[in-house]
Structure 1
Amino acid sequence: MTRKRHGLAALAAAALLASACGNVIDAQNQAKSGSDHGGEGKLLRVAIFGGSWEKGIRQSVITPFEKETGIRVQAEIGTSTVTLGKLRQSPDAVDVALLDSGVSETARAEKLVATLPQDKIPALPELADRAKLRDREGIWALTMGYWALGLAYNSEKVKTPPTSWDDLWAPANAGKVAIPAPATTGGLPLALLAAGHAEAKGDTDLAPGLTKLRDLNAVSFFDSSGAASNLLQSGEAAVAAHYNSGAWPLADQGLPIKWVAPKEGALAADSRWHVTAKARNVEAAYKFLDFASRKQAQEGLVKTIYLAPANTTAVIPETVRGRMPYGPDGSLDDLLYVDWEMINKNKSKWTDAWTRTVPR
């Protein structure tokens, strides 16, 4: 090979190397900026829950959103507390975060989620007023749907179906009951209910409720919705203070599990969409929240994970009306709503009191 050809070969190799390095840098920049192959294909990182919730959210929200917008969604699966931990460690860990009530307020107090510009979410007027979480700076979260703590039971093992919270203490159910621990969404609200302060504001005395729970002959204090479902599925518990969204999927599997809203009212909770304070793909995040708040997406969540819709135009089919958190003939107004800021303020103190008082 002549010296000229050697020179041309060297130039070609250098060009290839430069191109390869450029591609690597472009790929790194794309990953850093949140873009996915450029153009309309933006990558949106969304934190959601697992299990039946993941299936329902993918089917009703994520897949049709991707199809309509061309934006690719990368789902990050985890509980509310796991997602909160990720955001505390890295505020830009995800663009959109799904968080339960209670955890949601904590994220806002720690400035981990952003105020939402109302003109970016056209579906906003269709949402119930209570589904738009506000503070002095504006709306900062949108409810995806409502669920509630009520009474789940095994219809083959429980001869008299429960209708009241008092039925947890019925002699026939002694040694067969499971209730949520204070680390769960329903734990401290249940203690407040037992103390007669389900909708209390400000500081309140939890001691009477803890004493009442101590006297409950419970077989288990569960730390997650999945754990409650496992207790019912295995037969270890025949009655549980459980969530409608966790109990009805067991019935879908053919198990003899039913759920009722107590006559005094079920304890309301909701799961909320947030745009994180350090989101990389903010515009796509707004589009996602708008899509998830629309009538079609909300109706899908009603049918898949039995959430009461936040969108006031959504229609609840008769086939699932009985599985709503307020029962077949109720509405959002029939639920009992707790003051999460008050609970969060007292959470450490009340959890310590629970630990000292309730377990045997």
Structure 2
Amino acid sequence: MRTGLAYLLGSTVALSLAAAAPAGAEDALVVAAFGGKHGETLQKCVIQPFIDKTGIKVTVDQGVSTVTVSKLKQQKGNPSLDLVWLDGEVSQVAEAEGVFADIDPAQVPNIANMIPEGVYKNKAGKITGLSDGYYSVGIVYNMDEIKQAPTSWFDLWKPEFKGDVTWPSMSDGSGPAMLVYVSELLGGSVANLKPGVDKMKQLEVAAFYDSGGNASNILARKEATIGVLDSGAVWALADANPFKVGFLIPKEGGLASDARLHLVKPSKAAYAFLNYAMTAESQGCIAENYFYGPAVKGVKLSEKATSRLPWGATGSIKDLRFSDVNAINAHRQEILDAWNKDVLGRR
């Protein structure tokens, strides 16, 4: 899942409250969240309903996941954030930094209604994160401009798409995974990135993007007409623009991940927020508005939302392909170096 870019970085937006009386300071929360359509969806489906139900003040610190994690590391021991939403891949990196508080399941009764895959634990078996919905990464394209649908990831290298492609940078959650995936498809691996790096050096892009919201803006402005994007951002783009948007999982397969919610500073208010975010009401709203697959059981969805889920109308999380996040994390510095020195350095 997916966030804004320059206009979001470092900005903090205080949401207005509908409570009859002001909450005390001990009941105020600061929550790091995504921007763009994803952030709007979280406000509509989680944040504002929580405010309305509890009267607890919530301040939203918007930014991309990598910036949020940098803030957590800088403020370790004295964090300003109570809870954070992060892209799945970035979440795994942050967990290794020890910046999350353990989640007490007794304080989050709705964990009992979650699918097992959506409850993340550290090596000690402590819960450190909860999924707030799944997406799948595939190819998005402007059907008004591109009449013949692509079928392969490598169609993005076709001459007709030269300078017309948008692709995730290393700041986006899917960026490192996509570089590794391209390497694997060409016979390499997470420990042998050369095939993928050599291929990426040949890709003529309109722009690399740092977030799904940034990618959507690039496509909406028609600076690019094809690219790599997660399913949630794709359908938000489709509903917000007059041109027809196509989306497909290439024949080689797609990559899946999720958005995760983490506890940083435990409190009664923070646990109440976390518990509300894991309700069928909340995640059903996210699925209807941003089309992420719920991590909560028993969510009833419209036909439109069901058809747009990352696993399709009749599938489940079992049908998604996830990258080996642990392996990527173990080689993260090599991945970043390869991207910055060999891919971007040759442009």
Q: Pick the aligned partner of 2:63 from 70, 73, 78.
A: 78
**1:262 matches 2:247:** no
Q: 1:213 maps to what in 2?
A: 200
Consecutive unaligned residues of structure 2, counting only runs of 5 or more, are: 1-21
Q: 1:65 maps to what in 2?
A: 50
| Alignment partners' CA distance in 1, 2:23 and 2:209 | 44
The one-letter code of the counterpart of 2:139 is: L
Provide, for residues 298-322 of structure 1, a one-character-per-residue CA deviation record: whole Å limited to 9, x for no partner: 1000011221111121123211233
Task: Give, in angstroms, the shift of residue 215 of structure 1.
Answer: 2.8
Larger C-alpha radius of gyration, 1 or 2? 1
Alignment of 1:159-238 (within 5 A): 159-196=147-184, 204-238=191-225
Partner SS for 1:161: coil
| Alignment partners' CA distance in 2, 1:173 and 1:327 | 28
Task: Give, in angstroms, the shift of residue 171 of structure 1.
Answer: 4.1
Partner SS for 2:258: strand
CA contact 1:261–1:325 (8 Å) conserved in 2: no
**1:98 matches 2:88:** no
Q: Pick the aligned partner of 1:119 from 96, 106, 130.
A: 106
The one-letter code of the counterpart of 1:326 is: W
The one-letter code of the counterpart of 2:108 is: I
Q: 2:13 maps to what in 1?
A: none
**1:146 matches 2:131:** no
Q: 1:15 maps to what in 2?
A: none
Task: Give, in angstroms, the shift of residue 197 of structure 1.
Answer: 6.1
Alignment of 1:1-360 (within 5 A): 37-38=23-24, 42-91=27-76, 92-135=79-122, 136-196=124-184, 204-256=191-243, 257-276=245-264, 279=265, 282-358=267-343, 359-360=346-347
CA contact 1:265–1:335 (8 Å) conserved in 2: no
| Alignment partners' CA distance in 1, 2:206 and 2:330 | 29
CA distance 1:60–1:50, change in 2 (3 Å): same
Task: Give, in angstroms, the shift of residue 96 of structure 1.
Answer: 1.0
| Alignment partners' CA distance in 2, 1:109 and 1:260 | 33
Paired residues, number: 320
Consecutive unaligned residues of structure 1, counting only runs of 5 or more, are: 1-35
The one-letter code of the counterpart of 2:115 is: A
CA contact 1:115–1:137 (8 Å) conserved in 2: no
Partner SS for 1:209: helix
**What percentage of aligned pairs have identical amino acids?**
33
Provide, for residues 41-78 of structure 1, a one-character-per-residue CA deviation record: whole Å limited to 9, x for no partner: 82122211122122211211122222333323222222
| Alignment partners' CA distance in 2, 1:89 and 1:357 | 29
The one-letter code of the counterpart of 1:66 is: I
The one-letter code of the counterpart of 1:229 is: S
Provide, for residues 93-144 of structure 1, a one-character-per-residue CA deviation record: whole Å limited to 9, x for no partner: 1111111122212222221101111111111122111111112241110011
TM-score, structure 2 as length reference: 0.84
Q: What is the root-mean-square deviation in Å for CA atoms of aligned residues?
A: 2.5
CA distance 1:195–1:80, change in 2 (3 Å): same
Provide, for residues 7-64 of structure 1, a one-character-per-residue CA deviation record: whole Å limited to 9, x for no partner: xxxxxxxxxxxxxxxxxxxxxxxxxxxxx6449x821222111221222112111222
Partner SS for 1:67: helix
Partner SS for 2:117: helix
